[in-house]
Each structure stands twice: as C-alpha cells, then as structure tokens.
Amino acid sequence: MQFRQFRTVDDLHRAAAAQAAASLAARLSTRATVRLLAATGSSQIPFLEALVATPGIDWSRVELFHLDEYVGLADSHPASFARFIRERLAEPAGIGHVHLINGCADPEAEVARLERELARAPIDLAFVGIGENGHLAFNEPPAQFETNRRLTVVDLDEVSRRQQVGEGWFTTLDDVPKRAITLTIPAILSAGEILCIVYGARKARAVAACFNGPPHAMAPASILATHPCATIFLDAEAASGLRLSAATGT
C-alpha cells in the first residue's frame, strides 16, 4: 500500500482518474476484458466524472461490479447504489457488461447470484472509499477479515446510517435501510489493484484509526495496508491525523 497526498481535492481527483485510466488502458491492451469493481458514495462522484471524461478507454470491454447496496431499496430511489453506478459510470462511460446488485431481490438469493458471477474470473481493479466509521464497502466494525464468501448481508452501523443522512441521500435516519448486501473484505482484497479515495476533515479520524497502527477489525479499511498494490489518495484534511511514520510508510 502507498499513500499519495494532494494539496487540493481537485488535484486528488485528477491524479486518481489519471491512475485509474492508465491502469485500465494497460490491462485492456493485454486482454479482451477487464473486470472492474466500483464504489459509490459522495466522495466518488468527482473522481468518476474525471475518469469518464478521460479519452482513450475502451469501456465496451470493461465488465463492472459494484461494492454494495441497501436491502429493500429500489433502484429508482436517489440513494440507490445501483442507480448511482448506472447513472454516473455505466451509462456515461458506455460499459458493455454491468452487474448491478438488486436491493429488492431476496438478499440471500442475490448474494448467491452475484457470488457465481464474481467467481468466474478475478477482479482486476477496484475503486473504494472509506466510511466515517472506517468501513470498507459496507463491512462495518468489527469487520470479518477472513471468510470464504465473496458477498454477505450485513446490519448497518448507526454511524454509517447517519453518514448517509449527513450526505443528503436520505432525509431522516429512519429512512435509511438497516441492512445491506456488501462484498466481503477478502473479495475486495482479491482485486489486482485498489485505488482508495478519501478526503475531507470528516474522514480524518477514520484515516488515523485505519493507518496509524496495524490492521484491526474495528477499523475495517485498515486491511488495505496488507494489499501489495493499493494506493490511498488523500488530501491534507483527511491525512491530518496520520502520524508521519504511517504517511511515509516508514
């Protein structure tokens, strides 16, 4: 894992989009299809806009999965992650093959369906964010670092549910679903390369909890430190609680 820290959030998004585009282009130059895993959430929006605007990516040969979805939320709801992926990545980019998580399906049947799709081939590249409570996708603290499953149904942490209200996706806490389908930590870590985008003061505490010490279950995204090809894109605010030894990797 390496950190890349930026002075402005604009610089961060440009650099993350450039690295993602270069990674996609390199992989597409050597094989027929590239399998991509994308995060949703407010922090991903400018990055995805910059990536979709980058010329030269043959999106028709990209196969897309996303990290998580609320149980019981229709994909017409403004907070639906499936809708987010469709409207902000799949459609504008023109992605050929998209696997959306159906929040209205029977959760265990949906998990089993996507488990089969994910098992067909490795994930090449993943985009992730870090929640205000340190979650990775919807793997809430305490996270399960070891499981044979690629997806699971989880109860959402109240901090996560409040974050969604704070970001404006829902009006009240009661409106936020209490369960979600999420890719597991091992499924996310199986990606060949991971780009993690995390910025703003509201993430400083989670970033410090994740990276100032060894990985631990109460800070789920801390497990990214064990990945050989993960890059954490940070701004100064999100990095403000990082000890120098963590930020420099020494």
Strands 62-66 and 193-198: unpaired
Give yes or no for residue 220 binding ligand GLP (CB under 6 A): no
Give yes or no for residue 170 binding ligand GLP (CB under 6 A): no
* Binding-site member from 40, 184, 222, 231 for ligand GLP (CB under 6 A): 40
- Reduce the DSSP state of residue 148 to 3 states and report it: coil
* Binding-site member from 138, 170, 211, 233 for ligand GLP (CB under 6 A): 138
Residue 170 token pair: 């829902």
Q: Which listed range, 101-109, 126-134, 146-154, 238-246, lies at the site for ligand GLP (CB under 6 A)?
A: 126-134
Give yes or no for residue 207 binding ligand GLP (CB under 6 A): no
Q: Which single residue brings its beta carbon nearest to ligand GLP?
A: 41
* Binding-site member from 100, 118, 137, 191 for ligand GLP (CB under 6 A): 137
Give yes or no for residue 65 binding ligand GLP (CB under 6 A): no
Which CB atom, from 28 or from 193, has the smaller least distance to ligand GLP? 193
Give yes or no for residue 67 binding ligand GLP (CB under 6 A): yes
For residues 222 and 188, give the distance between their C-alpha atoms in angstroms, rounded to a whole number.
Answer: 13
For residues 175 and 246, give the distance between their C-alpha atoms in angstroms, rounded to a whole number.
Answer: 38
* Angstrom distances, CA of residue 186 to CA of 111, 138, 171, 224: 15, 13, 33, 10
Let me know how long the chain is. Answer: 250
Choosing from 63, 132, 140, 193, which is the catalytic residue?
140
Q: How far is the CB of 67 from ligand GLP (least distance, A)?
A: 4
Q: How far is the CB of 191 from ligand GLP (least distance, A)?
A: 14
* Binding-site member from 115, 167, 175, 237 for ligand GLP (CB under 6 A): 167
- Reduce the DSSP state of residue 201 to 3 states and report it: helix
* Binding-site member from 24, 46, 68, 161 for ligand GLP (CB under 6 A): 68
Residue in the structure block whose two tokens are 């909890």: 209
For residues 102 and 232, give the distance between their C-alpha atoms in angstroms, rounded to a whole number.
Answer: 29
Residue in the structure block whose two tokens are 């690629």: 150
Question: What is the four-CA torsion angle of 90, 73, 196, 144, rounded to 10 degrees?
Answer: -130
Chain residues that interact with ligand GLP, rule: CB under 6 A: 39-44, 67-68, 128-129, 131, 137-138, 167
Active site (catalytic) residues = 68, 133, 135, 140
